[in-house]
Amino acid sequence: MSCTKIDPSLHQARKPDWIKVRLPTNPVFFSTKALISDLRLHTVCEEAQCPNRWECWSGGTATFMIAGERCTRACGFCAVTTAKPFALEVDEPQRVATAVKRMNLKHVVVTAVARDDLADGGAEHFARTIEAIREADPQIIIEVLVPDFHNREEAVRTVLDAEPHIFNHNVETCERLTPLVRSRAKYRVSLAVLKRAKEIAPHIVTKSGVMLGLGETETELFQTMDDLREAGVQVLTLGQYLRPTPQHLPVIAYIHPDQFRQYAEIAYGKGFEHVSSGPLVRSSYHAADFHPVPR
């Protein structure tokens, strides 16, 4: 499917009053920052310039980004650096586990850059990180936010065999806008990954997220919801796309908080078990609000 490329310097909507981010004042924020730095870890909070990092870090939580800070893809919405990645650090899983233990987390989210340079896309590194975290704390809820692995069954299975509680992969936007928004990723491939995950491990919760304000129509959003439900996805996040730099895609529209609430109601009506929907919602924002059934 083709899509006309939008000039990032054009069509930027004016930021409304409801998009506000508080600056850090809580000492826990600074101790979390120091811990992450001390253990030489990366977080998607920093690398992707997440607007919620002040709130999350002040609460002692963070989303760990493994496999380095260099991504092999160049998505039009993402602030993570695109460059040739360095070799995987074999001790990184244990460093993540140490951070999780020190932070006394009850729910941890682990994501990664896309590693198309690796035969398994980094799947084994995910598995080792899950195993290290569980060894440090057998009771913790482990959520992974994975790349598409090009829908390679062995890679998806490797991650699932490590038994995370939640398997998250974001479609990010509607099918029409995918070629513009996502680098090398395909909408139908992402759906196939989510469906494959549910088929391989029906007991593991599947989750996905969509950014709004990139030019999608409501009809396209609702179709995306239907496609995700068809793939067996149980948890959905809906958030406002925010342009990280002038070199990234512009915001076409800012969605009002009331509209986000309406979209959540519609999503629940379509059968999602849990929906987080709001301007500043991101994949891992308040992730612990959803509690998978213990197993």
Domain ranges for the chain: 27-289
Min mean pLDDT across 11-15, 44-48, 192-196, 276-280 is at 44-48
Per-chain mean pLDDT for the chain: 84
Quick check: 250 and 13 in contact, CB under 8 A? yes
Segment 133-138 mean pLDDT: 95
Query: From CA 290, how far away is CA 275, in angstroms rounded?
Result: 9
The pLDDT score that the predictor gives to residue 290 is 74
Sequence-distant (≥ 6) Cβ neighbours of residue 223 within 8 angstroms:
174, 175
pLDDT above 50 (res 1): no
- Residue whose tokens read 């993570």: 80
Segment 270-284 mean pLDDT: 90
Query: From CA 257, how far away is CA 19, in angstroms rounded?
Result: 10
Is residue 47 very low, low, confident or very high in pLDDT (cuts 50, 70, 90)? very low
Segment 104-124 mean pLDDT: 90
Quick check: 107 and 140 in contact, CB under 8 A? yes
SS3 236: strand
Query: From CA 285, how far away is CA 279, in angstroms rounded?
Result: 11
Query: From CA 68, how far away is CA 85, in angstroms rounded?
Result: 7
170: left (phi > 0), else alpha (psi -120 to 50), else beta? beta
The pLDDT score that the predictor gives to residue 60 is 47
Write down the architecture of domain 27-289 according to CATH: Alpha-Beta Barrel (3.20)
Half-sphere exposure of 53 (CA within 13 A, CB side): 16
The pLDDT score that the predictor gives to residue 151 is 95
pLDDT above 80 (res 52): no
The pLDDT score that the predictor gives to residue 59 is 52
The pLDDT score that the predictor gives to residue 99 is 86
Query: From CA 86, how far away is CA 149, in angstroms rounded?
Result: 18
Query: Which of 44 and 152 is assigned the larger pLDDT?
Result: 152
Is residue 36 very low, low, confident or very high in pLDDT (cuts 50, 70, 90)? low
Segment 1-16 mean pLDDT: 55
Quickly count: other Cβ atoms within 10 Å of residue 21's Cβ.
12
Quickly count: other Cβ atoms within 10 Å of residue 17's Cβ.
6
